[in-house]
Amino acid sequence: MKRGNSKRRSIEPVVALIILIAATIAVSIAFVSWLVGFWNIHSTIHGQAIEIFGDSYFDSKSSTLYLHIKTHIDPTATLWFKVDDASIVDIRIVNTTTGSAEIVNGRVVASVGSEFWVALKVSKSIPSGTQVYFKVYTEKGYVYWGWAQSR
């Protein structure tokens, strides 16, 4: 005695093979993405790196960008800046939390592990409530960029 419909068909072997190959590719892509992320974390911590914190802001009354930075560059980091399409007319270290940072020839030179605030006075007036685009360059050619809210 037969149960069910004898005309029922199973998955074709070719379709099963295609599904298996697609799943293998998806897992491979996920693994490579994880591996690249893992490598970036370690190369950032042990290589050329700076952190720009989210509490950085632009003061529209004084036309000054305040950047909160921490360096991981060994032994020292030499940094220079670009703010929107404006010229930087003055640069100064406002506060150093850890390590040391100083201005040398219009650039910031900071020891490894230094955390500090740098003030960049620009030649252009930027209204309150807009975002200010900036870039931070290092002597080894790395470029870090971000946005700061104007207040």
Summarize pLDDT for 62-121 with one digit per residue, the tens: 999 999 999 988 788 899 999 988 899 999 999 999 999 999 999 999 998 999 999 999
pLDDT at 44: 47
Taking 50 as the threshold, does the pLDDT of residue 146 lie above it? yes
Same domain, 138 and 70: yes
| Whether 87 and 131 share a structural domain | yes
Contacts of 76 (CB under 8 A, 6+ apart): 109, 110, 111, 112
pLDDT, position 5: 57
Task: Calculate what percentage of the chain has a pLDDT beyond 70.
Answer: 85
Cα–Cα distance for residue pair 17/40, rounded to 1 Å: 35
Same domain? 103 vs 116: yes
List the one residue out of 99, 88, 97 whose CA is nearest residue 65.
88
The CATH code of the domain that includes 128 is: 2.60.40
CA within 13 Å, CB half, 76: 11
For 64-85, b where at least 16 C-beta lie within 10 A, e where not — what string? Answer: bbbbbbbbbbeebbbbebbbee
Across the chain, mean pLDDT equals: 85
- pLDDT for residue 45: 46
Q: Which two tokens stand for residue 70?
A: 């921490």
Return the higher-pLDDT residue of 139 and 101. Answer: 101
CA–CA separation, 81 and 43 (whole Å)? 23
Pair of tokens at residue 86? 């404006």
Task: Give pTM, 2 decimals.
Answer: 0.67
Asked whether residue 63 falls in the same domain as residue 122, the answer is: yes
127 with 98, same domain: the answer is yes
Per-residue pLDDT at 46 exceeds 60 = no
